[in-house]
Amino acid sequence: MAGDQGDQTTASTRRRYRHIDKFLDKPGPSTDPDFVPGTPTIANLEQSRVLVIGAGGLGCEILKNLAMSGFRDIHVIDMDTIDVSNLNRQFLFRKDDVGMSKAEVAAASVMKRCKDVKITPFNGKIQDKDEDFYMQFKIIICGLDSIEARRWINATLVSMVDMGNPESLKPLVDGGTEGFKGQARVILPSLTSCIECQLDMHAPRAAVPLCTLATIPRQPEHCIEWAKIIAWEEHRRDTVLDNDDPEHITWLYQKALNRAKEFNIPGVTYQMTQGVVKNIIPAIASTNAIIAAACCNEAFKLATSCNPNLSNYMMYTGDDSIYTFTFEHEQKPDCPVCGNLAKTIVVNPNDTLQQFIESLGERPEAQLKKPTLRTESTSLYFQSPPSLEEQTRPNLAKRLGELVSDGEEIGVSDPAFTIDFKFKLVFQS
């Protein structure tokens, strides 16, 4: 009797996924040569362990889609808690959930509706997990709102690749949205173009002149930038600013709020402070739904081989009309993550080291905010510890032509990333 009930439960579960089985029960004109229709592929789909990074607007859509696409073993990680402002588009959350962990609430919400799906939540930072954690997954899907976090997981997955162990290569499906625009991309670490190769497609925010921040702020964002750049340096320079530390964000918020009151500027909020400091990208529910669908479609194809996966970048715009464009972004040999050559940067030899360091935060191909620089023979500038910063500080006022030679390579590190960057400085003629 118990066996009959188990068979009935299994049959009932499979009926829920009959729309999926139509793609897996027989081969099609584009299926992979290794594709095996029927039970083996369905079992492989159900057993594929998938990690979703981010349980916000995009992450909620991704979790829902994966659960309804036949994936049974899903893990989700997010360090944020639910804010009332999330409720307009992050549909897995309710008013009573405000203040609770996004990952835990999202997992429970999906499992309540899809009882045959197991979702394991992790409330924390992706940087707190080691390589063994990421090695257990077959596919990793990013629904992040931070360029820095994308760069970190990208570098980590590339560093995990062991050419003698095919299981060490973890496909990364990355989705991102900004207003009515979005993109989905498939990255095979070390084999295809990675996020760092494509970094110049995500230009940093236009810099606000320091004099504006220091003397005549006009917008709430200016007050927040002032707190981050000037106030933090004056009051807490011995502490490295952690964009993910609530205490640090709260300190910046209070400083920015006081600054805004001083200049009668309304609009500074804790959420805006997070957005400015972490460079969080705004989201719209319909764009999230489209990009999440594209990401889950790619994960489904990677898990089943029922169709070729995206190669390798899809752009979407929905402001004037609905438009998509797919192209293959090429791997760059001078990529600091997956390449083996130093990236060439053209510089003015008369610029000071201070000016060059500031430019690294603005250059689309670098976007480094607290870089430490060194050549093969000498240290140019250290951000920390304080003793080394003080020792190398005089170099900030020196011209690049005094410190390095034309065509010389420098090493650059940044506390936000696990890798070192190599740049070849070529002087303007």
Which residues have a Cβ under 8 Å from the Cβ of 83 and sit 6 or more positions away? 98, 271
pLDDT digits (tens, 9 = 90+) for 396-426: 999 999 899 998 988 888 877 777 788 889 9
Other C-beta atoms closer than 10 Å to the C-beta of 188 total 18
Sign of dihedral through CA atoms 120, 126, 131, 137? positive
| Burial (CB count within 10 angstroms: exposed 0-12, middle 13-18, buried 19+), residue 288 | buried
Which residues have a Cβ under 8 Å from the Cβ of 383 and sit 6 or more positions away? 240, 370, 371, 372, 389, 415
Contact 117, 106 (CB under 8 A): no
Q: Could you give the CA distance from residue 169 to residue 192 in angstroms, rounded to a whole number?
A: 12
Contact 313, 198 (CB under 8 A): yes
pLDDT digits (tens, 9 = 90+) for 64-85: 999 999 999 999 999 988 888 7
Question: How distant, in Å, are the alpha carbons of 212, 243, 250, 274 from that of 219?
Answer: 10, 21, 19, 16
The string of DSSP letters for 240-264 reads ---TT-HHHHHHHHHHHHHHHHHTT
For residue 119, what pLDDT is reported?
Answer: 96
Q: Could you give the CA distance from residue 248 to residue 255 in angstroms, rounded to a whole number?
A: 11
pTM for the structure as a whole: 0.73
pLDDT at 331 over 70: yes
Q: Could you give the CA distance from residue 85 to residue 327 in angstroms, rounded to a whole number?
A: 35
Average pLDDT of the chain is 87
For residue 48, what pLDDT is reported?
Answer: 94
Residue 187, token pair as written in the block: 């990255």
Of the ranges 10-14, 131-135, 329-333, which one carries the lowest mean pLDDT score? 10-14
Q: Could you give the CA distance from residue 156 to residue 418 in angstroms, rounded to a whole number?
A: 7
Other C-beta atoms closer than 10 Å to the C-beta of 125 total 15
DSSP bridge partners of 44: none
User: Residues with catalytic annotation?
Assistant: 211
Q: Could you give the CA distance from residue 169 to residue 156 in angstroms, rounded to a whole number?
A: 11
